[in-house]
Structure 1
Amino acid sequence: MTKTLLLLSVFSSILAYSQEDLLKDIDTIQTTQNNPPAFKALQIVTGQSTKLTAKNDWYMVVAHRFGDVSMGFKNFFGLDEASTKLGVIYGLTDGLSLSLSRETNMKTFELGAKYSILKQGDNFPVDIVGYHVAGLNTAFDKDNYPYLKFGDRLSYLSQALISKRFNDEFSLQLTPSYVHKNLYEPTIEDNNQFLAGLGGRYKISKRISINAEYFVNFDSHSFYKNPLSVGMDIETGGHVFQLLFSNSQLNSDIGYLTNATGKWEKGQIFFGFNLYRVF
C-alpha cells in the first residue's frame, strides 16, 4: 500500500510540474523582495495560512479528499469514496478577502472572511491574520431532527493566524481557534470547542516544500481525533498545487478541525489535493 501511495504522489507531482508553461501566469499576487509571504499557498495543508489574495483577484478552489486508504482494494485505496469542495475567493483589497464554498461531505456551505491585522517586517516579528467562518449544514433533516430550525444548522469558527518567516526555506504558524456549533451531540462533543494549531513549511528545492500541521482540540470528551496532516507544495510558474495526507476527510474548515475520525497509527488516512485557479 505504501508503494502504491508513493507512486501516486510522484506521478501527480510530475503531472503538475509539466503544466508550468500553461500555468505561469495564473498567480497575479505580487510580492516585494523585502517582504515575501511566510507561505506560498492560501492553506498550509487544509488549515488556512496567513497568505491573502490580491485586490480584485477571483480564485476558484477545488479541494478533493479520497476515502480511507487502509481499506485497501475494498474501496480501491479510497478512490471509491471521495469528498469534494468547490469554492470561490474574492480579494476586496490586498488585506481583505471573502470566500464561499460547498462541500459534498455533510453538504456544508461555508462563508468566510480573511483579513490582515499586522505584517511581519523590520518593526514587527510576525504576520497576524484574522479568519472567520459561518457554516451551514444542509445534510440535517427533520426525519432525524423533527424540531429542527434553520439556526440549528449553523456553526461558527474564529481563528487568529500568527506566522513567522524565519528564512527563505522555513516558516511556522500558530493558530488558536474557537468553534461553536448550534446543533451537536453532547455525548461525543461540546458546542463550544477551543483548539490550538501548529503548522509549518520547509522548502526542499526551488519549487517544492514539505508542509505539516497539527491541531489539538481541548474538548476533553470529544469522540473525534486531533487532525494531523502532511503535504507537499509544488510551485508551477507561480501557481501552487498541493498534495496531502490527513486523518480528516472533510474539506470544510469547521469539519476538518472538529470531525477527524482517522488514526494515523492504524493507517486510517485520506489522500487528497488542493488546487486554486485565479482569474
Structure 2
Amino acid sequence: MKHRILLILLLFNFAAFAQEDLLQQLDTVKPAEKQVEIAAFKALQIGNMQSTKLTAKGEWYVIISHRFGDLTQGFDNFFGLDDANTKLGAIYGITDWLSVAATRHTAGKVYELAVKYRFASQKIDGFPVTIVGYNTMDINSELDTDVYPNLKSSQRFAYSTQLLISRKVSEKLSFEVAPMFIYKNLYDPTIENQKQFVIGTGGRWKVAKRISINLEYGWQIDNPYCSITHNPLTAGIDIETGGHVFQLVFSNTQLMNDVGVFANPASKLDGGGIFFGFNMYRVF
C-alpha cells in the first residue's frame, strides 16, 4: 500500500512539473499576427483629398461639406458667404476593408459615387505603410442639350482612380502620397486634357489630444494649361468631438468632387482664390 501511495505522489509531481514547463514554453511563443497600427488619420479626408481611413463594418457616415466663396473679394460677396457650394452624402462600411459612398454636389449638380478598399495595413514591427484604393464616378446632371445639342449620355461621366499610401511616423505625425488618374468623357481641348495624372501629397500634425493641423497639395504632372488651371493646395484643422470629426478647410479651389478638385482648380497660389469651408462627418 505504501509503495502505491509513493508511486501516485511521484506521478503527480511529474505531471505538475511537466504542466509548468509547458506553460513557460507557451509564454515565450510570440503571436504570429502583427498588431495593426493605429490609423494614420482620424478623418476620412485630409482636407479635400481622401485619407487611408475607412469606415468599420456596418457603420453609416453622413457627410456635410460647404465651401464658401472667395474670401479675397471681401464685402463684395460678404467674404464668401453669398456664394457657397454644398456637398451632402452618405458612406457605408460593407466590411472593415471595403466601403461605398454616394454624394451630391451643388456645383455642376454632380452626383458622385465612390468605392474605397484597403489592400494592406501598417503594422507595428511589420508592414511599413497602409495602402488603400479609391475610385470615383461623377455624373454631371447640369449639362444641358440646349448648350450641347449633340450631348450623349456617356459624356456626363468623369472618373478618378487613386492609390492612397500613408504612414504614421509617430503619435503626432502622419503623411500620405496618392498617385491619381483622372478621365473625363466631356472636356474642352483648348483648356484641359481628357486624361490627367496627378500626384497628391498630404500630412497631419497632431497639436493637441483632439486637434490636428492638416496640409495637402496636388501636382498636375502633365498639365500644359498651367495659366488657366493650377495645382490644388489645401490647409485645414481637424477637431474631434465625440461622434464626429469636424474639419475647417482653406483651399484654392471651391469644388469638392475629386475630379473637380484635382483637375479643375481655377485659382492661383499667389493671390486671390482663397475658399473657406468645412467637412463634417457623423457616424451611426
TM-based fold match above 0.5:
yes
Name 2:65's counterpart in structure 1: 63
CA distance in 2 between counterparts of 1:190 and 1:181 reads 8
CA-to-aligned-CA distance 1:216-265 (integer Å, 9 cap, x gap): 01233233111000000011125210001000101111111111112232
Name 1:191's counterpart in structure 2: 194
Name 1:161's counterpart in structure 2: 164
Tell which has more relative contact order, 1 or 2 (C-alpha 8 A, sep 6+).
1
Q: Is the 8 A contact 1:189 1:219 kept in 2?
A: no
Name 1:274's counterpart in structure 2: 279
Shift of 1:34: 5.5
Q: Does 1:95 align with 2:107?
A: no
Name the % identity. 54
Name 2:154's counterpart in structure 1: 151
Shift of 1:171: 0.3
Secondary structure of the 2:44 match is coil
Q: Is the 8 A contact 2:243 2:282 kept in 1?
A: no
Unaligned runs of 5+ in 2: 1-34
Report the structure number with the largest CA radius of gyration. 2
CA-to-aligned-CA distance 1:49-73 (integer Å, 9 cap, x gap): 0000000111111010000011110
After TM superposition, the structure 1 = structure 2 runs for residues 69-218 of structure 1, keeping only pairs within 5 Å, are: 69-121=71-123, 122-218=125-221
Q: Is the 8 A contact 2:160 2:183 kept in 1?
A: yes
CA-to-aligned-CA distance 1:139-165 (integer Å, 9 cap, x gap): 111111110011000011000000000
Q: Is the 8 A contact 1:161 1:174 kept in 2?
A: yes
Name 1:256's counterpart in structure 2: 261
After TM superposition, the structure 1 = structure 2 runs for residues 33-52 of structure 1, keeping only pairs within 5 Å, are: 35-52=37-54
Aligned counterpart for 1:240 among listed residues 236, 241, 245: 245
CA distance in 2 between counterparts of 1:259 and 1:139 reads 17
Secondary structure of the 2:74 match is helix
Cα gap change, 1:219/1:140 in structure 2, threshold over 3 Å: closer, same or farther? farther
Task: Return the letter of the residue paired with 2:66.
Answer: H
Secondary structure of the 2:208 match is coil
Secondary structure of the 1:265 match is coil
TM-score, with normalisation over the residues of structure 2?
0.85
CA distance in 2 between counterparts of 1:107 and 1:151 reads 16
Shift of 1:206: 1.0
TM-score, with normalisation over the residues of structure 1?
0.87
Shift of 1:198: 0.7
**Post-superposition, which runs of at least 4 consecutive aligned residues in structure 1 deviate over 3 A?**
none
Secondary structure of the 1:70 match is helix
Shift of 1:123: 2.1
Unaligned runs of 5+ in 1: 1-32
